[in-house]
Amino acid sequence: MSANTCRYLTALLTEGSFSKAAQALDISQPSLSQFLLRLETEAGTTLVDRAAKPLRLTPAGELFLKTERQIEQLRETCAKQMADIHEGVRGHVCIGASDYRETFSLSEVLPVFRKRFPNIEISVTEGRTKELEEFALSGATDFSLVIAPLYHPAGLEMTELYKETLLLAMSPNHPIARKHPSTGRDEYPMLDFFEMDREPFIVIKKGQKMNRLFHELCERTNAAPRVVLESESMIAALALASAGLGITLTTETLARRSRVTDALRCFRISPEVPPRTVIAAYRSDRYLSKAARALIDVMREVAKERFERG
């Protein structure tokens, strides 16, 4: 079978027509048609239902593609294992991470890792938590940095990296911050979330776990903050809070390392919110290379030294 088998069949299934699939693959339509005919001749059956609009795989085609994907995965696993035996700890690792975690966690981890393993190349693919899990499931990343519990626990293994405390953040000039002056004894004094009632609030957009936490706190306390802005980014939300636009939820990791730290006042949350567990998630049925495992080990080490102690 050609190395392009999975890619070509997936394109036909995704695009729904020969012309669109050929365009997506950057090949001519006749070449794609001839490829499929040869494949069907070799398989001894029809793999694509050409009468369907959009195109779809026949039952035989679905089985064929599923099997080819498994074979492709085995080849990839074998190649990684051979590389580990031949090369030692070197190669390439692709990490999935949010912009926040890339900026503040990886910026401290990667310099340490680079000194120890100069022959390992690192690339980062950004996304939201759900997307990052999907990247790990599909094999687009070797592992992704996400928050437990997982949206897609089936098929993924996880290694705990560190825990991070969740906080309420606002400008020191906010009326609530002034109402609770700092005593110097407690860096993050406790604050009842009900005090957020009718206060301007900056929330993280729907589909992210911080958004879900916001709504859970509202339900638990019967508070009704006034949402003035929704942001994709925790970094942006924190900067806006420091500028006095409202209050936001953040993490201690971010609050300590943000450029606007001096312009923030942060509080622990009542009712108590458990700390978030940051994990490395990766396919349970996929070989994790020595390079990827070495990076996870360094992440755990650096996290223990810097993140969990702040």
Give every CB contact of residue 32 below 8 A, 6+ residues apart in sequence: 8, 12, 18, 21, 22, 25
- Pick 213 or 92 by higher pLDDT: 213
Rg of the chain over Cα atoms, rounded to whole angstroms, equals 25
User: What would the CATH number be for the domain defined by 5-80?
Assistant: 1.10.10.10
The torsion region of residue 17 among left (phi > 0), alpha (psi -120 to 50) and beta comes to beta
Q: Name the segment(s) of the chain with CATH classification 1.10.10.10.
A: 5-80
User: What would the CATH number be for the domain defined by 166-270?
Assistant: 3.40.190.290
* Mean pLDDT, the chain, whole residue set: 88
Average pLDDT for 69-97? 75
What was the pLDDT predicted at 310? 47
The string of pLDDT tens digits covering residues 8-37 is 888 888 888 999 988 988 899 888 889 899
Q: Name the segment(s) of the chain with CATH classification 3.40.190.290.
A: 166-270
**Starting at the edge strand that comes first in sequence, how are the strands of the sheet with 276-283 ordered?**
120-126, 91-97, 143-148, 276-283, 156-164
Q: Residue 248, exposed/middle/buried by CB under 10 A (0-12, 13-18, 19+)? A: buried
Q: Name the segment(s) of the chain with CATH classification 3.40.190.10.
A: 88-163+276-307
The string of pLDDT tens digits covering residues 210-233 is 999 999 999 999 999 999 999 999
Its CATH architecture, for the domain 88-163+276-307, is: 3-Layer(aba) Sandwich (3.40)
